[in-house]
Chain A
Amino acid sequence: MMVQEQHATKGKAAGDEGGHAQEYLTYTLGPEEYAIDILKVQEIRGYEPPTTIANAPDFLKGVINLRGTIVPIVDLRIKFNVGKADYTPFTVVIILNIGSRVVGIVVDSVSDVTMLRQEQIRPAPEFAATVDTKYINGLCTLDERMLIVVDIERLMLSSEMALVDAAQHAQ
Chain B
Amino acid sequence: MSIDMSQFYQVFFEEAQEHLNSMESLLLELDISDPDAEQLNAIFRAAHSIKGSAGTFGFTDLAEVTHVLENLLDRIRKGELALRPEMIDAFLDAGDVLKDLLAAHRGDGVADHSQVEAMCKRLSELTVSTATTVQAPAPASAVVTEVAGQTSPGDLDVSFVLDMDAAEAANAVENLVAELGQRWTVEVVERASAADDPWRLRLAAEADPEIVRGMLEFVARSDSIRIGPAGSMGSIADGSDGAYGFFDDDAAVVTKAATDDSWGLFGDEPELAPAGTQATAAAADDSYGLFTDFPAPAVAAAVSPAPSLDTAPGSAGGITLAAAAGSEGEGFGFFVDVPAAPVNATPVAATPKPEAPTPPDKPGTAKRPAPKPAAGGETSIRVDVDKVDQLINLIGELVITQAMLAQSASTLDPVEFERLHNGLAQLERNTRDMQESVMSIRMMPISVVFSRFPRVVRDLAQKLGKQIELKTTGEGTELDKSLIERISDPLTHLVRNSLDHGVEMPADRVAKGKSPVGTITLKAYHQSGNIVIEVGDDGAGLNREKILAKAREKGLPAHDQMTDNEVWLLIFEPGFSTADQVTEVSGRGVGMDVVKRNITAMGGRVEIESMTGIGTRMTVRLPLTLAILDGMSVAAGKETYIIPLGYVIESLQADRSMIKSVSGVERLIQVRGEYLPVVALYEIFRIPGTVTQLDKGIMVVLEADGVKAALFIDALVGQHQVVIKSLESNYRKVPGVSGATIMGDGHVALILDVGALVHMAKSALPAAA
Contacts and interface: CB of A to CB of B under 8 A. Distances in A.
B397 to A, nearest CB: 5
B397 A54 contact: no
A68 B397 contact: yes
B711 to A, nearest CB: 14
Interface in B727-743: 727-737, 740, 742
A112 to B, nearest CB: 27
Interface in B335-372: none
Contact of B731 (A52, A67, A72): A72
Residue from A50, A65, A102, A165 with most neighbouring chain B CB atoms (10 Å):
A65
A70 B740 contact: yes
B690 to A, nearest CB: 12
In this complex, the interface size class of chain A, counting residues with CB under 8 Å from chain B, is: 20 to 34
Given A53-B750, A55-B686, A162 B732 contact: yes
B748 interface: yes
B731 A163 contact: yes
Nearest to B688: A52
B748 A55 contact: no
Given A50-B748, A56-B734, A65 B727 contact: no
Nearest to A63: B748
Contact of B732 (A51, A71, A100, A165): A165
Contacts of A100: 729
Interface string A51-83: 111111000001111011111100000000000
Contacts of A64: 748
A38 interface: no
Interface in B488-533: none
Given A51-B749, A53-B737, A70 B686 contact: no
Nearest to B743: A65
A55 B685 contact: yes
Given A53-B737, A63-B740, A69 B686 contact: no
Contacts of B746: 65
B141 to A, nearest CB: 82
Given A53-B737, A54-B687, A55-B686, A70 B732 contact: no
Nearest to B638: A52
Contacts of B736: 54
Contacts of A71: 730
Nearest to B723: A68
Interface in A89-105: 100-103
Interface in A122-171: 162-165, 168
A70 B730 contact: yes
Given A54-B684, A55-B735, A68 B725 contact: yes
A31 B734 CA distance: 34
B639 A163 contact: no
B431 interface: no
Contact of A67 (B397, B727, B733, B737): B397
Interface in B277-317: none
A168 B396 CA distance: 29
A68 B732 contact: no
Contacts of B396: 68
Given A65-B742, A68-B396, A68-B397, A53 B733 contact: no
Interface centre among B726, B731, B736, B747 (most CB of A within 10 A): B731
Contacts of A165: 728, 732-733
Contact of A70 (B394, B687, B725): B725
Nearest to B685: A54
Contacts of A52: 639, 687
A139 B227 CA distance: 94
A54 B726 contact: no
A162 B733 CA distance: 10
Contacts of A53: 731, 734, 737, 750
Interface in B376-393: 393
Given A54-B687, A55-B685, A165-B733, A65 B747 contact: yes
Contacts of A68: 393-394, 396-397, 400, 725, 742
Interface string B687-717: 1000000000000000000000000000000
A71 B727 CA distance: 8
A53 B732 CA distance: 11
Contacts of B749: 51
Interface string B745-756: 011111000000
Contacts of B394: 68
A63 B727 contact: yes
B729 A70 contact: yes
Nearest to A104: B730
A102 B750 contact: no
Contacts of A54: 684-687, 734, 736-737
A67 B737 CA distance: 21
Contacts of A72: 730-731
A94 B684 CA distance: 31
A59 B282 CA distance: 110
Interface core residue of B393, B728, B748, B750 (most chain A CB under 10 Å): B748
A153 to B, nearest CB: 14
Contacts of A50: 748
Given A51-B747, A54-B684, A70 B639 contact: no
Nearest to A56: B734
Contacts of A70: 725-727, 729-731, 740, 742, 748
A64 B685 CA distance: 18
A63 B739 CA distance: 11
A67 B735 CA distance: 25
A24 B581 CA distance: 67
B748 A51 contact: yes
A101 B729 CA distance: 7
Nearest to A64: B748
A95 to B, nearest CB: 10
A102 B730 contact: yes
A52 B748 CA distance: 9
A84 B731 CA distance: 25
Contact of A103 (B400, B730, B733, B747): B730
A170 B727 CA distance: 20
A42 to B, nearest CB: 12
Contacts of B737: 53-54
B748 A65 contact: yes
Nearest to B746: A65
A13 to B, nearest CB: 25
Contacts of A55: 685-686, 734-735
A63 B731 CA distance: 9
Nearest to A54: B685
B614 to A, nearest CB: 46
Contacts of B726: 70
A147 B400 CA distance: 41
A63 B728 CA distance: 11
A51 B731 CA distance: 13
Contacts of A102: 730
A163 B729 contact: no
A69 B726 CA distance: 8
B104 to A, nearest CB: 32
Contacts of A56: 734
Contacts of B686: 54-55
A69 B730 CA distance: 9
Contacts of A65: 400, 742, 746-748
A68, A72, A162, A165 — most chain B CB neighbours (10 Å): A68
Contacts of A63: 727, 730-731, 740, 748
A63 B743 CA distance: 13
A64 B730 CA distance: 11
B729 to A, nearest CB: 7
Contacts of B748: 50-51, 62-65, 70
5 contacts: A51-B748, A55-B734, A65-B746, A65-B747, A71-B730
Given A51-B639, A63-B730, A103-B730, 5 more contacts: A54-B734, A65-B746, A70-B727, A70-B742, A72-B730
Closest A-B pairs by Cβ, 8 of them: A54-B685, A51-B748, A72-B731, A165-B732, A65-B742, A70-B740, A68-B397, A101-B730
